[in-house]
Amino acid sequence: MPRHTTVFERLAPHPDLVEDSLRGTRPSVFWLDDVARTTSHESLVGTRDADLTVVGGGYCGLWTAVLAKRRDPASRVVLLEAETIGWAASGRNGGFAEASLTHGEENGLARWADEADTLDRLGAENLDGFESDIADLGLDCQFERTGNLAVAYEPHEVAWLEEMEAGELLDQDAVRAEVASPVYAAGRWTRQDGALVHPARLATELARVAAELGVEIHEHTTVTGLESGRSGPVTVRTTRGAVRSGTVALATNVFTPLLRRARLMTVPVYDYVLMTEPLSSEQRAAIGWRNRQGISDLANQFHYSRLSADGRILYGGYDAIYHAGGRVSSEHDHREASYRTLASHFLTTYPQLEGVSFSHRWGGAIDTSTQFCAFHGLARRGRVAYAAGFTGLGVTATRFAAEVMLDRLGGADTPRTRLEMVRKKPLPFPPEPFAKIGIEATKWSLDRADHREGRRNLLLRTMDRLGLGFDS
């Protein structure tokens, strides 16, 4: 079968244009630079007693702490963060707040068909609750209920869009009237199932509210282990102290789990992002995008883009880089080859923006699971709950995970805790070197599918049948 070239190969810009766009780019996270931190939290020294200890100061840990105090204002809640609030994935993601808990309808149907309707309903309720909490708590995080726009470049992707049921199908003229990209062949706009936020502001605002509710927050506090007997409190050990508490919620995302049973459940996959300078009024007029939807495409190696509040374009995705051994390290936060690829694809998508400069470039690790969305667990005789594996879908799904952990720690029987998605664990990743071999083979297969008009090879079809997820 002849190789099908993608639009990014057929219409690639001149390399000089790519280099010019990147020339003044800062290796820094725009969202974190855009937040003026006025509050810091002292590291933990000594021993504390608590009703609930939360490990992790990203979205999942922050939502857990806030919701715990809203459920029981008298409870003693301590939150421990190894670095600073929101410094990892919660401060550097794209800011897409989606209703889906399963990384899309297709993934949910493939794994949990019997409860797909329930998952859709709970996901919609979670996004509505997310929006209500932002308003009720006064979170200044630039929330916009814009919906999502899925776009197609190639004829086979148009066919996929036509098969979907949710949202409004846009033909070529209609999608380009929304966003004036000459490579968009069709789109589907789902108006209610997505929103945008400022990622770092969401994290810092959740921390502010948590502290106001009485949560004791400690930054620069590395947890070294958990100690527990058959009953009684669980002791969370840190480098300079400890917290004894009746229950513990682990929200450590991509970092090494404190529970051995969870250590093969995720792998860190690095994703990279570019952010433009603010567009001029002429550039804004040339591109349209008046409805400010979050955009993603249907390729296996997909891109995502959005507008910021000050009129920049964030553009990321495509590459998914796994480093052998699964080590999370700041040395992986930048990758020049990925930035050049993204800049080239950006100029193919928006050629009328030739001459635009990127102000920021950054990357970060995504906690990827084999079911392509979060998993949940209990340990230490029901006294320790955990959630991880959000696979790039954590902005709103972490709020749902926080509710699940609190339900389970409280022994509550709820529609959330009864879900098969919550009760069943995903298949673990194999140990090295098999993890590296398998992930690279899968990435090669996904790229090949994009060059074969979407046709999936035997490896991808087998993974589909086994319910193993991996995407770029």
Predicted confidence at residue 451, as pLDDT, reads 82
Instruction: Give the contacts of 413 (CB within 8 A, at least 6 positions apart).
Output: none
Please say if the pLDDT value at position 193 is more than 80.
yes
Q: Are 294 and 149 in contact (CB under 8 A)?
A: yes
Predicted confidence at residue 187, as pLDDT, reads 97
Region of poorest pLDDT, from 99-113, 117-131, 303-317, 350-364: 99-113
- pLDDT tens for 206-231 read 999 999 999 999 999 999 999 998 99
Higher pLDDT, residue 196 or 451: 196
Write the single-letter amino acid at 370. Answer: T
- pLDDT tens for 165-183 read 889 999 999 999 999 999 9
Q: What percent of the chain has pLDDT over 70?
A: 98
- pLDDT tens for 256-269 read 899 988 888 999 99
Predicted confidence at residue 467, as pLDDT, reads 64
**What would you measure as the largest C-alpha separation in the chain, in angstroms?**
67
Q: What is the CA radius of gyration of the chain?
A: 22
Q: Are 217 and 43 in contact (CB under 8 A)?
A: no
- pLDDT tens for 348-361 read 999 999 999 999 99
Structural domains present in the chain: 7-33+150-183+268-367 (3.30.9.10), 46-138+198-265+371-423 (3.50.50.60)
Mean pLDDT of the chain: 93
- At 327, the pLDDT band (50, 70, 90 cuts) reads confident
Q: How many angstroms separate the CA atoms of 67 and 83, rounded?
A: 22
Predicted confidence at residue 438, as pLDDT, reads 85
- pLDDT tens for 419-450 read 999 999 998 998 898 888 988 888 888 888 78
